[in-house]
Structure 1
Amino acid sequence: MPVADENEDNPYLRDPPTDFAPLEELSADEAERQVELLREAIREHDRRYYVESEPLIADRTYDALFARLRDLEAEFDLTHPDSPTRSVGGEPIEAFDTVEHVAPMLSIDNSGEEDAVREFDERVRREVGEVQYVCEPKFDGVSMEFVYEDGSLARAVTRGDGREGDDVTRNARTIGSVPQQLHGEYPETLAVRGEVYMPKDEFQKHNRERIERGEEPFANPRNATAGTIRRLDPAVVAERPLAVFYFDVLAASDLEDTHRDELERFPEFGLRTNDRVEVVDDIEGAIDYRNRLLEIRDGLDYEIDGVVIKVDDREAREELGRTARHDRWAFAYKFPARAEVTPIADVAVQVGRTGRLTPVALLEPVDVGGVTVSRASLHNPEEIEAKNVNVGDTVRVQRAGDVIPYVEEVVEKGSEGHYELPETCPVCDSPVERDGPMAFCTGGLGCDAQLRRSIEYYAGDDGLDLEGLGEKSVRQLVDAGLLETVADLYELERENLTDLEGWGEQSAENLLAEIDASREPPLPDFLSALGIPHVGPTTARELAREFGTFAEFREAAEDEPDCLEGVDDVGETVAETIHEFFASEANAAVVDDVLEHVSPQEVTVDADTGGELEGLTFVFTGSLAEMTRGEAQELVEAHGANATGSVSGNTNYLVAGENPGATKQQDAEDNDVPILEEGEFRALLEEEGVALE
């Protein structure tokens, strides 16, 4: 979901600066303006993190922004009850019932500086005297409240805004480490705080599977966890490898005197605790604990970003109290962010639309230019061999043009040799063939990964331009079992769509109308839509003009490559690729199935037509009554115009039939492109001297 338009000019939203001017150099007006921008940005970052689970910035960058806001408010006396520094960020999402917590789930004051930890200790000892501390890993997952009544799980609630959250009990019940019934001598009422997380090895495995299926991988284990726990279908949650550590009592009918005693009783109840928890006598022991965990951090099977230091004695905790945002008896000593250098945990192989295999390094999440990166391109087998990179190596990661992460070099070798691509496709098990530095799956459209992308391409701008059928909807239809081949598009029925989440009657009717209008596509569009490697719209147009019909083109393609080489824009390599595409039994079968529903139009070259529409560009949307959309495109092209699939500033007219696409209409309005109804379009053609039958 994009950031709201009114926030777009805020410099602290995307790639925010963290090198701030000294406070003493700011005027009161400058400080007040910066506070307003920081509050606005932090609220948006909180929403992205807690509600959407799609953070825009790395945690360390957020911490810097939050610290700056806190300093400005204190220095210039700009505190406000609605400031993010006075409350916990995030709001419950609307898909679940909102439930009030039995006790506030506050955040933890934190710093990555040792001096701040010592200041925390000094304040504690000054207010309550000498204490012992319980030290725990600071898990990087999703914090939740689990409420047990008479030993039975009554509800599980996300942290939300700290006062109330989302009731996700049905999903929580599917997690193996969440007991439905407590064991032993448990309190009559018990509310505990736990951290739901995805183990790192399971996260990398899950991401590898998503990449191989052509899906977008999760950025890090926390995002994977947050996205899973908020799924509406508990069956999906049950399939994901989630786990829980329990680490605090929020409320109970029978409280222990110390935190360590509470944690010791948790396993008796069946509540899983972490085996790295330690009790120390003073802050020196806590600092040593943090430093020891930092050394073994990468070897743990769960993500941690620091340690939590808690006063052990509950009476001392009560005396220390809390602020509006955090408990004053706990402090998080955070780790430094991994900066650019990180281990490769695994390698996934992504299969593209043309069958090309792209190896992707799955990384321990690392901060690169203020963005958390968990994957990076390895490009191709030759690149891998040249860099001698493999699973287990520690590598330096960069972002090309500050966008695409890639492995720059191996910093420390942790493996033998370099990664070798599999000999068979990870998706369909077909043989893999090398073509210079590239590797390709030979499965063609019989490969599920290529199939999904082929459907997306078939329906996309370079194909038949079926509005409403993008990457997300194609994935949804494939996952629902409604699309197993491209031809299945033409078997869809309204009930198939309206039974799916997010589809209404109107959106279903619009898509079916788009699909129906594509049954007689212009030959160039159809050739391009098939996704033949190297055959885009331009080459498809030349092939269509050369052969006139799809049958003539296919016969030449199946014969010998040199039958195609005389066509403009088709050289030896392209001709060979086209021939190999149709020589594949899997591809041929898919094309045959599509032709059961589609009749590509014949291309005729009329010597009598002139250039009446020379220089004009048309875009068509919706269903036309007097002619098909393909016939209209072919008509204007025959008279010198261009017919494109998307509206831009270069478009002269958008022709809208029945059930037009909303996106194209909006684009036309944004670009001041005239929108013609079918009657107005026909009148325009007559005015320009284009004869209509």
Structure 2
Amino acid sequence: MSVADEDNPYLRDPPTEFRPVDDLSADEAERQVALLREAIREHDRRYYVENDPIIADRTYDSLFTRLQALEEAFDLGHPDSPTRRVGGEPIDAFETVSHVAPMLSIDQSGEVEDVREFDRRVRRELNVAGSGTASSDAEADATDSNATLSDFEDSSATGAFAYVCEPKFDGVSIEFVYEEGRLVRAVTRGDGREGDDVTTNARTIAAVPQRLHGEHPDFLAVRGEVYMPKDAFQAYNRERIERGEEAFANPRNATAGTIRQLDPTVVAERPLSVFFFEVLDSSDGLESHWEALSNFPAWGLRVTDELDRVETIDDAIAYRDELLDRRDDLPYEIDGVVIKVDDYDARETLGVTARHDRWAFAYKFPARAEVTPIQDVAVQVGRTGRATPVALLDPVDVGGVTVSRASLHNPEEIAEKNVNVGDTVRVQRAGDVIPYVEEVVEKGSEGHWAMPDSCPVCDSVLERDGPMAFCTGGLACDAQRRRSIEYYASDDGLDLEGLGEKSVRQLVDAGLVETVADLYELNGIQLTALEGWGRTSAENLLSELEEKREPPLSEFLSALGIPLVGPTTARELAREFETFDAMRETAIESPEELEGVDEVGETVATAVHDFFTSEANAAVVSHLLEHVDPQAADVEAGGDELDGLTFVFTGALDEWTRSDAQDLVEAHGANATSSVSGNTDYLVAGEGAGASKQEDAADNDVPIIDEAEFRALLDERGVEIK
């Protein structure tokens, strides 16, 4: 069926109301579904390819919703229906498949002399004069550097020697295969010969046509670049930051991480788009790349407007320089331009190497270095409720690392530096690690960005405390709750090796865990249903949790994530009060009594009081105590046999819990810390010891000893163990 105004009522003037689904016969429903699918495909082409929609977004949404309802009610689902864009059932793993034709890489350089050498080699091997003189006025017009796709659709100049210049998209390259006009396969580039079948995910991208339009080849394999538009990337990163998740470094990373999701519904929720830029194979004879690109829009395949066909390498270089000047204004990331020989016969003559096509060259842009514009500002809420403004940047190279976000520290610093959205700023990395905005290089707007009055995550009031701002929502705030779970499982908490940041995010996103108490209600069936979890990893985590049902009081207090209460302060509180109930009651009723404990002053005492008097926190702690019974440490005071030594413990010991071992060495004059530094004397590594602490020990020349060596050290120092 072809779309025609008189045949399809959903094309130009769709109805505002529909007959109830129950009133339709099966034949009527089937016909309406066919018309809706065809109309939606045409609306998609007009929107994504032609940039000329003919109906309002709300009208389009009503057509899409109607199609979904009919397919569900009459069991009329189909693999290439537009409704497949909402995703499907999760898969266990991607299948590896061979490409229709090799997807090779491109030789590249940022040096103009290398580009000219490419041109000399191409012309030498094709026996083409460097002047590139056109054989007629028509060909001269056709090869003008200002030509556009429409100028060449009927031009006889496609056979003349020319280059086609394109942006070098910074996304993920995919092979799309169409048979009889239907999308049958989408495959990642992989090693160039074979890749992962991501067809189900590709179907969720609105700009990928499920069916080709017009007079298309019976068989067509094309190469496309899936990408995330810059504005969508910034908005998506903002959402992630405000949910307490890590932001993606750049749009390419966001795209790569999305296209390889095993759950297509996750892909459908993320703002991906695509440009098509190369024919890999076709059942129809095509003479040139420009001819192919000219046909793409008619087939429903989206191409960029930034295309040019030129005759000389000087024109190609000028194209690159002009695009470099406009790089920041483009709605998508590019990292250079690609210069391709246009004629397919000439390409055949030039051939390929084992790794790249010899008829194409990428002229790279220099990396953005340190100076970049601020596109938006998000507020990141941490475990303790601290609200930190984060600048969302156009990705920039800082010391060899791509940076797309940088801390603005606090409201006072923003006002002092006069930083606002739209300003161009210089970015540095504190200690070569944490990116921050150093200064404004050029103002793009008046005034400075102001901290909102409420938390972007839970809408609770943001209270100022000196230069800082804090969310008052406590564990009722999703961001604080997620971070509290991560901290509970960390080295400074209960040290759950099987539960890292990624695992916590999975559990929370799957709705299995809302607070730390829910960890103890997990089961193997729930865990093994998640991506990346097998029976062994699930059993290991459940076993760890079971072992932690009676944690030492000091570890439990630290794991709660009470602001300003780390492992050292938690141990002092545990020693002083011995039971959790005694400590909590004192914190609530007489917080001033806490100030008599080592490591606890007025500020810490107030933080502990505020934590336990929060209704949201109290509810979480009460639920947690239904599963956990904190135990007081039983270590008698010793002497000074270990005076001056500093220990760090990691992994599981047979004779002691980690907390007991820390209490033991501290009772005999040593210090016990949670992280390795140059001041550490020994890292005691038990079973399942964390690799990061051992790497830190190696970097700082800290001896790593096992439990037997630790026991021998205690004996040597005269420490009596009862």
**Same structural fold, with TM-score higher than 0.5 when normalized by the shorter chain:** yes
- Structure 1 partner of 2:18: none
Structure 1 counterpart of 2:95, one-letter code: D
Query: What does residue 577 of structure 1 align with?
Result: 607
| 2:512 paired with 1:485 | no
Q: CA deviation at 1:560?
A: 4.5
1:524 equivalenced with 2:522 (yes/no) = no
The AA in structure 2 aligned to 1:235 is T
TM value normalised by structure 2: 0.74
Closer, same or farther in 2 for the Cα pair 1:646/1:383, shift >3 Å? closer
Question: Which stretch of the first structure deviates more once superposed, 507-516 or 266-275?
Answer: 507-516
Contact 1:193 1:247 in 2 (8 A): yes
What does the per-residue CA deviation read over 1:64-88, in whole Å, with 9 as the maximum and x for residues that have no partner?
Answer: xxxxxxxxxxxxxxxxxxxxxxxxx
User: 1:194: how far off?
Assistant: 1.0
- Name the SS of the counterpart of 1:469 in structure 2: coil
| Partner Cα separation in structure 2 for residue 208 and residue 261 of structure 1 | 41
Partner of 1:190, secondary structure, is strand
C-alpha separation between the residues in 2 aligned to 1:642 and 1:499? 43
One of 164, 174, 188 as aligned partner of 2:218: 188
On the 8 A contact 2:676/2:693 being kept in 1, the answer is: no
Could you tell me whether the CA contact under 8 Å between 1:619 and 1:647 is conserved in 2? no
2:506 is matched with which residue? Answer: 476
In structure 2, the CA distance between the partners of 1:688 and 1:219, relative to structure 1 (3 Å rule), is: closer
Aligned to 1:220: 250
**Residue in 2 aligned with 1:314?**
344
Q: How does 1:458-469 map to 2 (within 5 A)?
A: 458-469=488-499
Q: What is the CA distance between 1:563 and its match in structure 2?
A: 3.1
Matched, 1:539 2:552: no
> Does 1:267 find its partner at 2:267?
no
Distance 1:120 1:222, change over 3 A: same
The equivalent of 2:580 in structure 1 is 550
2:100 is matched with which residue: 93, 99, 102? Answer: 102
Q: Which amino acid aligns with 2:101?
A: A
- 1:305 corresponds to: 335
1:503 is the counterpart of 2:530: no
Alignment of 1:98-137 (within 5 A): 98-126=96-124, 127-129=126-128, 130=132, 131-137=161-167
- Look up the equivalent residue of 1:100 and give its one-letter code: S
What pairs with 1:233-632 in structure 2 (closer than 5 Å)? Answer: 233-602=263-632, 610-611=638-639
Distance 1:308 1:614, change over 3 A: closer
Q: Go from structure 1 to structure 2 and tell me whether the alpha carbon gap of 1:255 and 1:506 turns closer, same or farther (over 3 Å shift).
A: same
SS in 1 for 2:527: helix
In structure 2, stretches of 5+ residues that fail to align are 1-91, 133-160
Secondary structure of the corresponding residue to residue 538 of structure 1: helix
- Could you tell me how far 1:462 is from its partner in structure 2? 2.0
1:622-676 deviation digits (Å, cap 9, x = unpaired): 697x99887787788778888777899855976x7xxx64649996999663446
What is the RMSD computed on CA atoms of the aligned residues? 3.4
Count of matched residue pairs: 588
Change (3 A) 1:631 1:136: closer
Question: Could you tell me how far apart the structure 2 residues matched to 1:177 and 1:652 are?
Answer: 54
Kindly provide the CA deviation profile for residues 33-90 of structure 1, in whole angstroms up to 9, marking residues without a partner as x. xxxxxxxxxxxxxxxxxxxxxxxxxxxxxxxxxxxxxxxxxxxxxxxxxxxxxxxxxx
Following the alignment from structure 1 to structure 2, what is the Cα–Cα distance between the partners of residues 267 and 439? 51
Q: How does 1:141-220 map to 2 (within 5 A)?
A: 141-220=171-250
**Change in CA separation of 1:532 and 1:307 when aligned onto 2, cut-off 3 Å:** same
Tell me which amino acid in the other structure corresponds to 2:544: E
Partner of 1:79: none
For normalisation by structure 1, the TM-score amounts to 0.77
**Whole-Å Cα distance in 1 between the matches of residues 227 and 683 of structure 2?**
53
* Distance apart, 1:176 and its partner CA: 1.3
Which of 652, 666, 673 is residue 705 of structure 2 equivalent to? 673
- Counterpart contact for 2:668–2:719, Cα < 8 Å: no
Offset at 1:352? 0.9
> Is the 2:101–2:280 contact (alpha carbons within 8 Å) kept by the matching residues of 1?
yes
Contact 2:642 2:665 in 1 (8 A): no
* Counterpart secondary structure, 1:257: coil
Is the 1:613–1:636 Cα contact (8 Å) retained in structure 2?
no
Tell me the amino acid that sits aligned with residue 673 of structure 1: I
Q: What is the one-letter code of the residue matched to 1:113?
A: E
CA distance in 2, matches of 1:535, 1:102: 59
Structure 2 match to 1:78:
none
Query: 1:246/1:601 Cα in 2 relative to 1: closer, same or farther (>3 Å)?
Result: same
Letter in 2 for 1:96: F
Is the partner of 1:328 in helix, strand or coil?
Answer: strand
CA distance in 2, matches of 1:112, 1:672: 46
Residue 496 and residue 644 in structure 1: after superposition, are their counterparts in 2 closer, same or farther (change >3 A)? farther
User: Residue 594 of structure 1 aligns to which amino acid in structure 2?
Assistant: L
Unaligned runs of 5+ in 1: 1-93
Alpha-carbon shift at residue 96 of structure 1 (Å): 3.1
Matching residue of 2:17: none
- Mapped contact 1:343–1:395 kept (Cα < 8 A): yes
> Shift of residue 132 of structure 1?
2.7
Over the matched positions of the two proteins, sequence identity in percent amounts to 71
